[in-house]
Amino acid sequence: MTLTRGARITGTVLSAVLALITAGWIVRDLRVMHGPGPLWDMWSGVPERFPGGVPATTGGTLVLLLVQAVTALVVPRSRVAAAALVATGVTTLLLRLPGVWIIGADWMGGYSDELRLRAMICTGIALAVSVAMIVTAAAGRRPAQDAGLPAPTRPTTGSAVVAFLALGTSGAVLIGWEIRQFFVFPDVAYPDWYLGGRVIGSTLVDTPGGWSTVTVALLALFAGISGLARAVHARPFGMIAAAFLLLSGGLGIARGVRLHLFGAFGDAGLEEQLTIATWVFLALAGIVALLATARPGQPATEGGPGQGWGPGAPGYGYPPLEPPGRAPGYGYPYPSSAPGSPYGGGAGYGYPPAGQDPAQGAAEGSGGPGYGPPPGGGFGPPPSSPPPPASPPPGW
């Protein structure tokens, strides 16, 4: 499956709207903080006071801007345009959702009423546009041949393994730190770490620290596991998660450099040393995962689970020549296993050839990429009968 031209244009416009909203808040903070240097220090958590107002963003806003802008640029021609729209829409939705209850809270009195009203409007638009992006990706999917566009691509085996190791390990590390927070924070502060509150505040248009950390961890784990499954959506989700990991580690390293923490590493306590090591690890893992997921993928009709993982993996269409006496286990393909299908080329469904044991020639389990239940293996229909009709596979 691929995205129609009309859906690509719509998705580009929606992504550009999100990017403009996000960029507007960063520009506002640049003016308030009198330049990128003080704003970067504030994002890094350097405990200094700067002239001007209070920033409304965090470092995650910068990554979100890059994700939305890149999506707007690549959707018109990308083979994974539908997956990119879904990944950007889901990420924006998750990171802007806390604004629904944070912006209007009485403990956000550090911002003017006018600024809070503007933030409410922008958050509402961002949430609506994020949902519209997901709907556009779902409604605009068509077989690649029908749309006259190239088939989508899935990660190669090597890239998928590297991305899984980098993203999966990073996600586990972040979850481990969140478990640690449960024992560190007092009971009165722990809910605020995830939902915002008086004890642990939050910026106006961004998410509380715990919420954003768990979101990035889940994105990393989801992308890593999807990569092992060679799913089409693994690359967009993986690149987004890798960008957030790189920024998280980069901000931590910047903080360590400004506060001279690396020079005093040997004298620091164990937890401080682990914190510094985590910053470096997340930055390196983000770079590795970004390089792995940004590599060109493999066309979905040429490989995938049960299709391109090793010698003899099944394909679509007519079976290859078999040794004498060996019955083939494939017949005519269903539409869902035709070239351009999001499920790649799994085995067709139907009845076994005449005289063949149903247990013979069963297709190897194949779970193709895409956003729906993968088709199970089956037997091809006998040559004398046409393929039975198939309903379109469920998906995004």
Determine which helix (DSSP H) or strand (DSSP E) holds 17, and give its type and residue range: helix 5-33
Determine the pLDDT at residue 357: 47
Phi and psi dihedrals of 3, rounded to 5? -105, 135
Domain layout of the chain by residue ranges:
2-47+54-299, 324-382
Q: In the structure encoding, which two tokens stand for residue 293, read together? A: 């997921």
- Rounded CA-CA distance 300/82 in Å is 14
**20 phi/psi in degrees, rounded to 5:** -65, -40
Encoded amino acid at 174, one letter? L
The DSSP output letter for 98 is T
Distance of CA 270 to the CA centre of its chain: 33
| Confidence check: pLDDT of 49 > 80 | no
- Range 141-156 average pLDDT: 73
Say what the pLDDT of residue 163 is.
93
Q: What is the per-residue pLDDT for 259? A: 87
Question: CA dist 80 to 71, 89, 221, 395, Å?
Answer: 10, 14, 20, 14
Confidence of residue 258 (pLDDT cuts 50, 70, 90): confident
The pLDDT of residue 145 is: 64
How far apart CA 361 and CA 350 sit, in angstroms, is 12
Distances (CA, A) of 60 to 10, 94, 241, 373: 25, 12, 11, 33
Q: How far apart are CA 96 and CA 98, in angstroms?
A: 6
Report whether 171 contacts 214 (CB < 8 A): no
Q: What is the pLDDT of residues 60-111, one digit of tens each?
A: 999 999 999 999 999 988 888 899 999 999 999 999 999 999 998 988 878 8
Tokens read off for 215 = 């979101």
Nearest to 84 by CA among 105, 102, 69: 69
At 141, phi and psi to the nearest 5? Answer: -80, 135
Report the amino acid identity of residue 212.
S
* pLDDT tens column, 267-297: 888 889 999 999 999 999 999 999 999 888 7
| pLDDT bracket for residue 307 (50, 70, 90) | very low
pTM tops 0.75, yes or no: no
Tell me the residue ranges of DSSP E strands in the chain.
2-3, 141-142, 153-154, 298-299
Q: What is the percent of the chain where pLDDT is above 70?
A: 72
Could you read off the pLDDT of 212-224 as tens digits, one per residue?
Answer: 999 999 999 999 9
Q: Say what percent of the chain tops pLDDT 90.
A: 43
Write phi, then psi, for 154 (nearest 5 degrees): -115, 160
Amino acid at 123: T
How far is it, in rounded angstroms, from Cα 292 to Cα 290? Answer: 5
Chain centroid to CA 251: 21
Please report which confidence band the pLDDT of residue 179 belongs to, taking 50, 70 and 90 as the band edges: very high
